[in-house]
Every structure is written in structure tokens, then in C-alpha cells.
Structure 1
Amino acid sequence: MQFITRAQWGARPSRYALTYIGSTRGVKIHYEGTYVPESLGRPDAHGQCAARVRSIQASHLANREEDYSDVAYNALVCPHGYVFEGRGAHRKTGANGTAALNVGHYAVCALLGSSGLTEPTDAQLAGLRDAVEWLRRDGDAGDEIKGHRDGHPTACPGGPLYAWVQRGAPRPGGGGGTGTPAQKYEPFPGADWFKRNPRSPIVTAMGRRLVAEGCSAYREGPGPQWTESDRQSYARWQRRLGYRGDDADGWPGRTSWDALKVPNV
């Protein structure tokens, strides 16, 4: 784990003493829910991440309506996979929505937005798993990994990240998740592949999965030729995952594709 302590990222002191908790049922995953520039995800942009974490803490400390004690999260994870210590282990979060929810689970926030940078990098997913495992080891977190929206009316942590949570929050490259091994499913063929109007058994297999998930917009089929019905059906699947606006345009992306679990053909 690439861990950055509060002192290392330049945290300000807490406004009040943070509440101790002995254990939780698990961890809830969050995102910023605002615009995050795509440039933050560049491999050479990690030098900007500590400043962004300081900005998040400053905005929380300035929020007198919520009256936060500190940055609301127990940890934050940047697109480069570094885990920034927030409130830390054995400290009640301020992010999950209610007092009861805040003692039930820790909160880990990905530096990811509702626009701009919306797709988590593999390094970020690995960092989120690192944060979860750290909170299990040092904070007595239970086995649950949920999204902020589980139990609270919010779009957080966004469609792409919530799809990963629903798949069991697997570590990229295998391990740490739940369910059937990923190699039994059709790998994502790439966004451009679908826009080339493909004719393939993969399209049929995808359509059958969409039908099984109750997302069919087909009048007949599905079949091997990519059609507008396929795109409309896939848009229904994206909306099921919580995607909105241009993120639910019916063109498959890697995260939503992995969540669909199209069997190998």
C-alpha cells in the first residue's frame, strides 16, 4: 500500500475531537460528486493530488451547516493508487448520511467526479482495495463493501464505481473480489469496436445478458449484428447501474461491461 499520512499531505487539525469507534460492519465507497479534471488522472499528475485532498478538507471544515469535525472520510484514494489518511482507523466517519450510518461503516472516497474524470483507473481500484484492507486490519472493519447509495438516497459513488462495488470490489488482476473468476467472461472489446457496427457472437451474448437483466429494448433478437436496439438496451443497463446523462448513451464502457458479465463465446 502506498500510504500518505495526514502530516505528509499537510492536513489541518480537526475542529473537534474525533469520535472513537471500535469496529464497523465494513466500508462504504464514495466519490467527490463534483467536476474532477480529467488531467488529474494523467500518470504524471500525482503531484496535484495532495493539494486536492487539502482542498476537500478545507471545504468540509468551512461547511458550518454540516459542522464537520474534519475531512469527512476515513481515507481518500487518488487516481494513482495512493491512500491518503483522512480521519483514520477507529474514527467515526462524517460521510455516510446519518449518525447511525456513520458508525455502521467507514467511508473511503475516490478522487473521482460526476463529470470530467469519471472512470476509475486500475491503480485507483487497487488503492481502494488497499484502503479497505487497511481499515480491516487496523480498524476492525467487517467484510461488507458497499456504496454510499446503499442505505442513503444519493448517486454516490457514481455509476462506474458503483458497478465495481456490485461486482464485489475486485482487485485489478484478480483477487479480493467475490463471485465467478473474471476469465469466464468475455473481455471488454473496446468502445470503438461497437461503433464500427460489428457483427459477432459477442453481440448476441451481450444481448442475451441484457434480456436476462430485464433491460431489453429488442423487438426481435438479439442477434449477432449490432443495432440501435442493442444500444438502447445497453443504455437501460447503464441507467440500472446509476449512470446518467451522457454516461448512459448506450455505448459500452469497460466498467459497465465487466458488471454485465457477458459469457465467453
Structure 2
Amino acid sequence: MKLVSRAAWGARGYRLPSGATLYSSSRRRGVKLHYLGTAYSDRSHDRCDDYVRQLQAQHMDGNGWSDIGYSFLVCTHGYVYEGRGLRRRNSANGNTTLNEQDYAVCLLVGSSGLTRPTDAQLHGARNAIDYCRSEGPAGTWLGGHRDGYATSCPGDPIYVWAKKGAPRPGATSTPAPAPSEEDDMEAFDVWAYKGKDEATDAYAYLRGTNRKVDALLTQVAGLSAAVQSLASQLGDDVDTEQVVAAVQQAIRDAVIQVDVDITGTQTA
């Protein structure tokens, strides 16, 4: 992880001002992701330190906070800036309870201008999340500022990424195991079948298929009962050919047609 310490980016009171409160609980639930919520333009990396200092000044002088509000910040070049860090409670999640509950990691993108994180930035954010989990007492929960608080932060691109588990760019997901015969129907997602209209047709198709299968099973049950009835009548003096003929007739009566066209047309 390309970690930029408070001293390295020139934080005001880089050892953290005394007003930044220590976390009172022993563990965090997880990590909440944030964006700036204002316009943001990308810049060369040598200007990122200036922006983080500007943000700190806004939080301290404008908001009256004891320090920059986030636990960590990630620039578009993938560098992770130490904000309040792992030990001091952030002030970005909405209220004291929410601040105590989760770390706050801000990706330097805005609600306008640059709105989508770069691949390097996503790698950096993933590093920050892992750092909060391995070095701080963060659990595995991951979400956005909007979880539990009325806000659009961290924006849709970052929020969708968080809800996918914050995968690294270019990572390939592990394919799901093939469904067994018992759960084939449950595993078939009709809403992923080309589109909503086609999915509706597919759903009707499956329902029709189920009805045909149910009817066939009923017929087979009738056949079984007929065979059992005939078997109970067998005796030493029964004509075998007569029994065979009776069974064949029972099949025709109970099943009618076993070869069923799934589209609804029955074939002889």
C-alpha cells in the first residue's frame, strides 16, 4: 500500500489534535466509503497533497471539526492518505454512533467533474479497506455513507463497487458451481434472460412446462396404480398373454401419450 502519513502530506497538527476523540469501542463493524459530494477535477499527483490540506482546512475552519473528517483518503493515483487513521474516531459518517461504528474511507472523486474512480484509485481503496481490517479492528462489513444515513454519497459508481465486495480492477470472479438437478429451476434467473419482456415470456414458458410435468406425473401415478391392481389379480391359472394385453391397455388408458412436445403439441 502506498501510504502517505500525516507528516508526509503536511497535516496541520500531524500527530492529530487533542480534540480528535479516540474510539471508545474495541472494534469497528467495517468500512464506509465516501466521495467528495462537490465538483472535483483530476490533477497531477504532486498537487494531491495540496488538496488534502485544503480539505482539512475546510473541515477544521469551516465545519469546526477537530481534524479532517475521514479515516483515510485515496487519490486518483492510488495513494492512501492517512486522515484520522485507525485509532481516532472519524466525523464523516453522519453522527457519533455511525462514526464509532465504521471507518470512513474517501475516494477523491466528486458529484460532478470527475465522478468515476480510476483503476489505480480502486486498488488504493481496496488497500485501505484491507489495512483497516488487518491493522485496525474492522470487521468485514462494507458499504457506503448512504447506508444508514440520508445522502447520495458515495455516488453510484463507488456504491455499486462496494456492494460487489470492492473487487480489484481486472479481477475475475470465481464461477458459481453448476446447479444440481434438484435446483435447476431455482437457479434459472428469468430476469437475466435478455430483458424484462423476454424474461416474462420465459417465466410463462417455465410455468407451462411445470404444468405439463405435473400432468405427466399424475398419469404415471395412475399407471402405477393400474399395474399394482393387475398384479394383485395374478394367480397360477392366469393367461400370461392376457395379462400383457391388459397391461398394454392400462398404459394407453393411463398415460395416453408419453411423448410430449414441450411446446404444447402432443405427438403420437
TM-score relative to the length of structure 2: 0.63
SS in 1 for 2:62: coil
Name the aligned partner's letter for residue 57 of structure 2.
A
Residues 125-204 of structure 1 aligned to structure 2 (within 5 Å): 125-174=122-171, 180-181=173-174
Residue 233 of structure 2: aligned partner: none
Does residue 1:35 correspond to 2:39, yes or no?
Answer: yes
Residue 244 of structure 1: aligned partner: none
Partner Cα distance (1:112, 1:16) in 2: 29
Residues 5-154 of structure 1 aligned to structure 2 (within 5 Å): 5-13=5-13, 14-21=16-23, 22-37=26-41, 39-40=42-43, 45-64=44-63, 67-154=64-151
The structure-2 alpha-carbon separation of the partners of 1:76 and 1:210, relative to structure 1 and needing over 3 Å to count, comes to farther
For 1:67-99, what per-residue CA distance to the aligned partner results, in whole angstroms no more than 9, with x for missing partners? 311000000000010000000112111000011
The structure-2 alpha-carbon separation of the partners of 1:71 and 1:211, relative to structure 1 and needing over 3 Å to count, comes to farther
For 1:87-130, what per-residue CA distance to the aligned partner results, in whole angstroms no more than 9, with x for missing partners? 01121110000110000000000000000101111110110011
The structure-2 alpha-carbon separation of the partners of 1:171 and 1:114, relative to structure 1 and needing over 3 Å to count, comes to same
The structure-2 alpha-carbon separation of the partners of 1:95 and 1:137, relative to structure 1 and needing over 3 Å to count, comes to same
The structure-2 alpha-carbon separation of the partners of 1:63 and 1:121, relative to structure 1 and needing over 3 Å to count, comes to same
Shift of 1:63: 2.3
Partner Cα distance (2:50, 2:136) in 1: 26
Shift of 1:148: 0.4
Name the aligned partner's letter for residue 83 of structure 1.
V
For 1:203-236, what per-residue CA distance to the aligned partner results, in whole angstroms no more than 9, with x for missing partners? xxxx953987xxx5x6x789xxxxxxxxxxxxxx
Name the aligned partner's letter for residue 10 of structure 2.
G
Greater Rg over alpha carbons, structure: 2
For 1:8-66, what per-residue CA distance to the aligned partner results, in whole angstroms no more than 9, with x for missing partners? 001002554322223200110000010001x43xxxx11111111111101000124xx
SS in 2 for 1:169: coil
Count of residues paired in the alignment:
185
Partners of 1:23 and 1:90 within 8 A in 2: no
Where structure 1 has 5 or more consecutive residues not aligned to the other structure, the ranges are: 185-206, 223-265
From the two aligned structures, give the one with the greater helix fraction: 2
Residue 192 of structure 2: aligned partner: 209
The structure-2 alpha-carbon separation of the partners of 1:19 and 1:116, relative to structure 1 and needing over 3 Å to count, comes to same
For 1:162-207, what per-residue CA distance to the aligned partner results, in whole angstroms no more than 9, with x for missing partners? 11011111122328xxxx53899xxxxxxxxxxxxxxxxxxxxxx9
Partners of 1:33 and 1:156 within 8 A in 2: yes
Where structure 2 has 5 or more consecutive residues not aligned to the other structure, the ranges are: 178-189, 201-268
TM-score relative to the length of structure 1: 0.64
